[in-house]
Amino acid sequence: MGRTTAPSDGKPAWRRACDRAFDRTFFAFAALAVIGGMTTYWLKGADIFERSLDGSLELLWFILPRIGAAMIIAAFLQVLIPRELVARLIGEQAGARSVFIATIAGALTPGGPLTCFPIIVALHASGANKGALVAYLLSWAMLGIQRIVVWEIPLMGADFTILRVTASFTLPVIAGLIALRLPIRIRVPDQPGRGA
């Protein structure tokens, strides 16, 4: 009510958030879950269907206390980490050092591809080398904090997550160092609305 930031469509912020949360993907996914449940009931019988429901409910109670914390961690990392600073830091370094810093920055980048790719374009524009760009993208994809706190720890468990992260945390650096030496010159397309 009376908030100057509200866009002109007149809907309050929570309504717009609901529209985003319950979008087509959500309903497609819900339909998939219902089909999965019906197929299980039909093919495997009521006992197995109930066993599956019980198992899922048990896991849900187990992970519920973690999800609130997960969302707070993901959200506050996003508002607290100054992106321009990170971009400058990676752009200023050369060679292996930039690959290393890019790996750390990629893991700490919260958000989906809509956050990550504009940052990579900005990194490229601020002079980051191709090894750092490759390391950044891979680190975000393999070690990204948001995917780990939102999906992996709640669903797969902390033990599995620790095992996987320990096994993979050096890999973006290795790939970045390989990329530095590969004879492929990258050519980034002009971004719409950025001006060449």
Taken as a whole, the chain contains a residue count of: 196
Indicate the DSSP class of residue 190: P
The three-class DSSP label of residue 53 is helix
Integer Cα distance of 24 and 46 in angstroms: 30
Closest CA to 148 of 57, 66, 25: 66
Q: Supply the minimum distance, in Å, between the C-beta of residue 84 and another protein.
A: 16
Q: Which is nearer to another protein, 94 or 118 (CB)?
A: 118
Q: Which is nearer to another protein, 13 or 97 (CB)?
A: 13
Q: Supply the minimum distance, in Å, between the C-beta of residue 160 and another protein.
A: 7
Q: Supply the minimum distance, in Å, between the C-beta of residue 187 and another protein.
A: 5
Q: Which is nearer to another protein, 6 or 39 (CB)?
A: 39
Q: Supply the minimum distance, in Å, between the C-beta of residue 9 and another protein.
A: 17
Integer Cα distance of 27 and 160 in angstroms: 30
Q: Which is nearer to another protein, 92 or 151 (CB)?
A: 151
Q: Supply the minimum distance, in Å, between the C-beta of residue 8 and another protein.
A: 20
Integer Cα distance of 97 and 95 in angstroms: 6
Amino acid, res. 26: F
Indicate the DSSP class of residue 103: H
Q: Which is nearer to another protein, 69 or 85 (CB)?
A: 69
Q: Supply the minimum distance, in Å, between the C-beta of residue 33 and another protein.
A: 4
Integer Cα distance of 161 and 28 in angstroms: 28
Q: Which is nearer to another protein, 3 or 8 (CB)?
A: 3
Indicate the DSSP class of residue 159: H
Residues in CB range of 74: below 8 A, 6 or more apart: 110, 145, 146, 149, 150
**129 neighbors 98 (Cβ within 8 angstroms):** yes
